[in-house]
Amino acid sequence: MVAMDRSSRAKVAISHTSEKHRSPARVLGLVREAINHLGGMENFVQPGHTVLIKPDLSVFYSAEEGCTTDPLVVGALIHLAKAAGAVRVLVAESTAESFSTLEVMEVTGMASVAEREGAELLDLAGQGIATRTVAVPNGQVLGLVPLPVALLDADVIIDVPKAKNHHIEPISGALKNWMGIADHRYRAHSNGDEQSVQRFMDIMTVTRPTLCVVDALIAGEGDGPIANVPRWCGCIIASTDPVATDVTIARLMGRDWRKLQLAREAERRGLGVRESIDYAGVPLDSVSFKAWPSHEGLDYLPINLLVGQSATLAGSLGHVKRVLDSLLRRGELQQIMGLRGTPTIMIGDAEDPAFEEHLKEGPYLVFDDTAKPEYKDDPRVHFTPGHPVPQDIMPQLMRGLGVGQVGRASVRWQELTRWGMHEMKNGSATRKVQTVAAPLFAVGMAVAGAAALATLVRGGVRRRRGRRATDR
């Protein structure tokens, strides 16, 4: 891979609409407009090419929630790539947390749009996925790295991040999204330590995106990367420079681009530029806004949270915080507290002078191997090992809070409702017909369950009343 000349200038294109209905035709027009400022898709895709598109599908939350890449943006890219002569288009991701990549693609509507446009889905962390270990000649941390063969062999790679806040970086963009090209099991042991920034920039020196196209239609402000609050922005951003792309996202959202660690490190490697940027299309100042930033500190969380010096925001603290933010954002943490009391969560080598009192108030969870033995070895706590703990700690957290089964049921219900919504909106006629029955069946089961519960409650009231009458 040839690095960019650091003395060169980057070009970033911006298209915008104030119309808030995201129809396939309107989104296609916006994506085409932005890419045309860079010479059009034909400038990147030649007849016979294989194109790999990498969206941000870190969780099953919707594009409308400000968390994941809009399927319509990916659909537009598939359409344009095929029109330029691509013979094969792959939509590829390695979903974070404990979710199945292909299921997340189904739930978010990405699968139905890809099917409609004639693309293939690829789980970069799937069973039997072919990988190739490649050398990293200029690696700062890595000498060798296993990467998917489909990524290495693609003629064109399009990085399609969501414009959103992140709790570590000011924003999550093209560089952060690139971490998802690696198997999540590899990321679990490679992300969150002091060398994670260097490690993933090492990977980009081996294989980097040909084109970056940002979904900034509904941006995500607030506590990212999965507890964002949606905000209409109406923009598509396109560039061949991932560093300039991230700087533009930060400027678009009113965040400080100078604090982007990944961009600083990527520029140092010759992967792009942070300041020498020429803009085309809609002026950046005319569409930028002041995004509500992520919370600073931890005192906004309505739980007892004890953090040791060994816990970092890039490691165990950040992995636990992102799940707590999501639970809080969607009201689930409040429900858990109503059922189980006030949780106490200890991360790393912290002290708890009120340990016995906290044990009585609610569930007690301890994370990270560096926690002191008197806490992590106590049989009354739920301990999750690792240093840092893996990113996919949602199941451990829910079990520790005492709502493992309820939590799984809640996740499945959320997945089902989003899946039904997106299939009805984006699916083909056949998929829509297949979709109607499942949500209606689920709603029927929910209604039946509620009716049964109401009958049970009424029966209990009658029985209690009967006992009281007999006693009198």
> What are the φ and ψ backbone dihedral angles of 318, each rounded to 5 degrees?
-65, -40
Torsion of CA 61, 226, 158, 425, to 10 degrees: 20
Does position 86 have pLDDT exceeding 90, yes or no? yes
Q: What is the mean pLDDT of residues 424-430?
A: 74
Percent of the chain with pLDDT over 70: 86
DSSP state of 102: H
Query: So what's the pLDDT on residue 451?
Result: 39
Helix (H, G, I), strand (E, B) or coil at 1: coil
Among 44-48, 86-90, 387-391, 442-446, the minimum mean pLDDT is found in 442-446
DSSP string, 329-393: HTTHHHHHHHHH---EEEESS---TTHHHHHHHS-EEEESTTS-HHHHT-TTSEEE--SSPPS--
Which residue shows structure tokens 């931890």? 298
Distances (CA, A) of 453 to 45, 267, 304, 450, 458: 58, 60, 33, 5, 9
What's the distance, CA 328 to chain centroid?
Answer: 16
d(CA 446, CA 452): 10
Q: Mind listing the pLDDT tens digit for each residue in 233-245?
A: 999 999 999 999 9
Q: Are 226 and 322 in contact (CB under 8 A)?
A: yes
> What are the φ and ψ backbone dihedral angles of 78, each rounded to 5 degrees?
-60, -50
Q: Are 271 and 242 in contact (CB under 8 A)?
A: yes
Query: So what's the pLDDT on residue 194?
Result: 56
Q: Are 386 and 311 in contact (CB under 8 A)?
A: no
Exposed/middle/buried for residue 26 (C-beta within 10 Å: 0-12, 13-18, 19+): middle
Average pLDDT, the chain: 87
Q: Mind listing the pLDDT tens digit for each residue in 343-365?
A: 999 999 999 999 999 999 999 99
DSSP string, 419-435: HHHHHHHHS-HHHHHHH
Q: Where are the beta strands (DSSP E) in 85-165?
A: 88-93, 120-123, 131-135, 144-148, 156-160, 162-165
Q: Are 321 and 299 in contact (CB under 8 A)?
A: no
More confident residue, 376 or 420: 376
Helix (H, G, I), strand (E, B) or coil at 25: helix
Q: Mind listing the pLDDT tens digit for each residue in 189-226?
A: 555 555 778 888 999 999 999 999 999 999 999 999 99
